[in-house]
Amino acid sequence: MSSVQSVFQIGGVIAYPTEAVFGLGCDPDNQSAIEKLLAIKNRPKEKGLILLAGDFSQLLPYLDISNLSEDQLNTILSRWPNGITQVLPAKAGLSAFLTGQFSTIAVRVTTQQDVVSLCNQTGKPIVSTSANLSGLEPAKTWQELDPKLVDMIDYIVKGDTLAFKQPSKIINGLTGEVFRT
């Protein structure tokens, strides 16, 4: 039986609990894994993806925080860990499969222990998008995962979400503008 860490490292797509719903994710540095994830979701690459981390330091290779003031950085960090996804400047040259059509990337630091554990084991964040086929409701438990989806993914983390009532709020980390409530 493979561990979630080994499946992640070889480019597998994983279903796992987040704050409110189950997510689908993979290694953000593995282009073929990202392409597989987008194909499973039938999600256009132009939309971009979220990176979910257990610690802010795991996000640093993907962010360009060089032009942020200390106050801006402190404000960004004060929002975590929590169910808040922040859109921040992406590091130059980051895959368009992560950023979509934007020069920014959506990132979040969580306290969901299964995610924190995986991110700590791999030393990096995991790509995060809701665990559902396009147009359908995301699963809130691993038992609710669509059987068609289960057939296409490589590993299911059978943990619990943090029971948040809504998926993460998405905001511009620099301005506070809300993209999704």
The DSSP-derived string for 80-104 is -SSSEEEEEEBPTT--HHHHTTSSE
H or E, element range at 9 = helix 4-9
69-90: pLDDT as tens digits: 999 999 999 999 988 999 999 9
Lowest mean pLDDT among 63-72, 97-106, 149-158, 162-171: 162-171
- Residue ranges of the alpha helices (H) in 15-137? 31-41, 70-78, 96-99, 113-122
């029971």: which residue's tokens? 163
Q: Are 110 and 52 in contact (CB under 8 A)?
A: yes
The span from the CA of 10 to the CA of 3, in Å, is: 11
**Model pLDDT, residue 167:** 85
**Residue 36 CA: distances (Å) to CA of 53, 96, 111, 175:** 21, 15, 27, 33
Q: What confidence tens digit (pLDDT) does each residue in 88-108 have?
A: 999 999 999 999 999 999 999
Indicate the CATH number for domain 4-180. Answer: 3.90.870.10
